[in-house]
Structure 1
């Protein structure tokens, strides 16, 4: 799941990003309202952890933007504003949960799991492209009904391609995906893993557009 952490305290954010990646989230960080809105415009964010006290405005602006777009993106507010009135106001604005600082990471992760389950109840966890199926909730891959075991990086690259069927993904975009999952990315990481994936799937499943990137499905 691709998560956006909106937090202006850099040290807090970096520590939390590391913990989120260890929990299996693909996580990126934003420290301002402006940058958070830019991240949301990509259409890839599935879950938001939102601080309210930001240097260029109030986090409620981000929450209002998400709700105005009518997208299924759960928002967990994580803020120093811990009064009952603040919590009621945040939840009334449309937040899915509200946690005051200081907080226990274990509690935050538990609340994120609840928010994730809500998404799975409203959206299919299956990605299909021809005879290839990924179950994103179980982290399984099948080809023509037969189960395949993929290393972590290959699984993440395949998932990124299938989430964007028909849309070319550049090497840089795929590298960013791996980085957001907390993976080390070398100069030829993408080429190597695409090469290994091609050996496991039909020869024309992953197409290369020379100098542009990779794509699965019809364009």
Structure 2
């Protein structure tokens, strides 16, 4: 984690620079973002959707600790893994409304690390890591994309294994599924232009964020 500047801490209003990586992506799909520390998780969800090109078609959640890792028993019992979801989706005892927690508070619970899962079927897991903090510049955008690599996967592509299979077929005209997947990608993107998984439109993402926030 980066060093805080001028004593700016998690308890103060600040801009947080965070690195968000799609877990297990190879080559890595990642984003470097700057987000206002007081932004609540429901709005951080919107930022991440825009940054990765998701279309908000599925459920999502935030987790302070890495999911799918077996927790150590406390007093003989496995503790609940707290998660933050939209208020209307909270139905289990460990569920908390994402509208009630800020990004800085989430990082404080996870010691500078947090996770965002989108689409519980495909399970797109994003690792959020706090890189640095800086004082607030009045008039600066609430969130902006600084850098990144590769476009986000397509919705409903079957998680990383499915997406990699689709990309392999697209890249090889002799692949038996090339035509089928080409038609599917064109339908999903609404374009017959060549799909380039390495392309990232930073200016386009920031334009979307400016309209959202």
Shorter-chain TM-score range: under 0.3
The TM-score with structure 1 as length reference comes to: 0.27
The TM-score with structure 2 as length reference comes to: 0.27
